[in-house]
Amino acid sequence: MEEMEQVIRLFPQRLRNLLQKADTLRFPAEELRLRIGQPLLMRAWGKEWWLAGREQCWEAATGHAGQEVYRVSEEDIRDTLEFMSRYSLYAYHEELRQGFLTISGGHRIGVAGQVVVEGGRVKNILYASFLNVRIAREVLGCGDDVMPWIYEKGEICSTLIISPPRCGKTTLLRDLIRQVSNGWECKENRQRAKGITVGVVDERSELGACCHGYPQNDLGIRTDVLDACPKAEGMMMLIRSMAPQVVAVDEIGSIQDLEAIRYGKNCGCKLLATIHGQSLEDLQKKPVLREFIQEGTFQRFVILSSRGGAGKVEGIFDAGGRCLKT
C-alpha cells in the first residue's frame, strides 16, 4: 500500500510509530479520523476499525469503545497539523479557512473545531479538535468503460455524473479529465479521439490535489487548473483567460454554479461535472435542477452506486433519458 506508507510518514514520530507497529499497511485505508479524547479510527473495506488492545492491533469498531483503545490527545492533533504543514500552518491559511489543507501526495486533511467569524464569513479555525486524513488514490483507467459512451460522432458530450457520497464520482471525473485531455483510443470498437484543452475549477482541491499550486494527480497534458477557487467564479475566469474546450467541476448544486454552467454552454464549452444524487429521477424532483436538465445542458448522465464496491456504473443515459448502457 504505497499511498498508506506515504501518509504514515507524514505523521509525527509518536503516531508514526504507533501506526507502523499496528501493521497499518495491510489495510486499503480510505481515511484516518482523529478526534480529541476519542478512539483513533480508520476506514477500510467499507468498515471502521480502531486501534485496540495492548498489542496495538486494528479491530472492527463496534459499539462503544472500551478502555483499551488508543484515544487521540490534544497533543496528537496539534503535532499532526504542525508536522503535516511542515511547521508552516500560516502558508495554508486560505485552505484552512475552508476547512482543509492538501499535502504532498494529494492527501487531504479535513479540519474542524472552533472557528473565528468576521463579517459573516469564517476567517480561521482557532482551535482544531478534529482531523480527517483522507488518503488520495488515483485509479487510472477507471473511466475506460465510460469514455466510448460520452462521445458522439467523435465529439465529447457534456456529461453529468450522478452519485451518492463515497461512490467514486470524483475519482471517475478525474480519470475522464485525464483521458479527454490526453486523447484516447478504444481498440474494441475502433473509436478514438484526439486530446483537447480542459479547464478544471478545483474548489476543494480534490481533483488535482494541488500542493502549492502544482497538481499531485495526473489530469492530462492539456489541462489547466484553478485551485481552491469558487466554482462559479472560476468557470468564468477560465473561459475568459484559458479558452478551454471542456470545463470540469466537482459537486455542482448552487444556483450560482448552474448559472456559470449556462454561461459556459453559451460560450461553446462542453462540460464535465458531478452532483450528489441517487438517480436522474431524483434530480428531477428538485425544481431548479429539473428545469436545468430539461434545457438539455447535458447530453449524457452517468449514474454511480456502491453496489459491489465504489464506482459501480448503474447506467449511462442520453439527454432524453434513454438508457445507453447498464
Determine the Cα–Cα distance for residues 134 and 131; give it in Å rounded to an integer: 9
The distance of Cα 222 from the centroid of its chain, to the nearest Å, equals 20
Is 252 within a domain? yes
Indicate whether 113 and 224 sit together in one domain. no
pLDDT tens per residue, range 270-326: 999 999 998 888 888 887 788 888 888 999 999 998 787 677 899 999 998 889 888
Indicate whether 260 and 307 sit together in one domain. yes
pLDDT, position 157: 96
pLDDT, position 87: 65
Indicate whether 95 and 215 sit together in one domain. no
Indicate whether 72 and 181 sit together in one domain. no
Indicate whether 111 and 157 sit together in one domain. no
Indicate whether 171 and 121 sit together in one domain. no
- The DSSP code sequence of 126-144 is EEEEEEEEEPP---TTTTT
What kind and span of H or E run contains 44?
A: strand 41-44
Contact 120, 226 (CB under 8 A): no
Indicate whether 114 and 177 sit together in one domain. no
Determine the Cα–Cα distance for residues 41 and 136; give it in Å rounded to an integer: 17
Is 37 within a domain? yes
Is 242 within a domain? yes
Contact 248, 274 (CB under 8 A): no
Is 139 within a domain? no
pLDDT tens, N- to C-terminus, the chain (326 residues) = 577 888 888 889 989 988 888 888 888 888 899 999 999 999 888 788 998 866 678 888 877 776 788 999 999 999 998 888 876 776 677 777 778 887 777 788 889 999 888 888 877 787 889 999 988 778 899 999 999 999 998 899 999 999 988 788 999 999 999 999 999 987 776 788 899 999 999 988 889 888 777 888 999 999 999 988 889 999 999 999 999 999 999 999 888 998 999 999 999 999 999 999 988 888 888 877 888 888 889 999 999 987 876 778 999 999 988 898 88
Determine the Cα–Cα distance for residues 314 and 169; give it in Å rounded to an integer: 12
Determine the Cα–Cα distance for residues 21 and 69; give it in Å rounded to an integer: 15
- In this structure, what CATH number is given to the domain that contains residue 129? 3.30.450
Indicate whether 313 and 180 sit together in one domain. yes
- In this structure, what CATH number is given to the domain that contains residue 195? 3.40.50.300
Indicate whether 221 and 255 sit together in one domain. yes
Is 141 within a domain? no
pLDDT tens per residue, range 150-167: 999 889 999 999 998 878
Is 140 within a domain? no
Which of the listed residues 134, 161, 189 is the one where a domain comes to its end? 134
Domain containing 42: what range? 2-134
Is 122 within a domain? yes
pLDDT, position 134: 86
Q: What's the pTM? A: 0.80
Indicate whether 280 and 238 sit together in one domain. yes
Determine the Cα–Cα distance for residues 250 and 282; give it in Å rounded to an integer: 18
Which of the listed residues 134, 156, 180 is the one where a domain comes to its end? 134
> Reduced to 3 states, what is the DSSP secondary structure of residue 110?
strand
| Total count of domains within the chain | 2
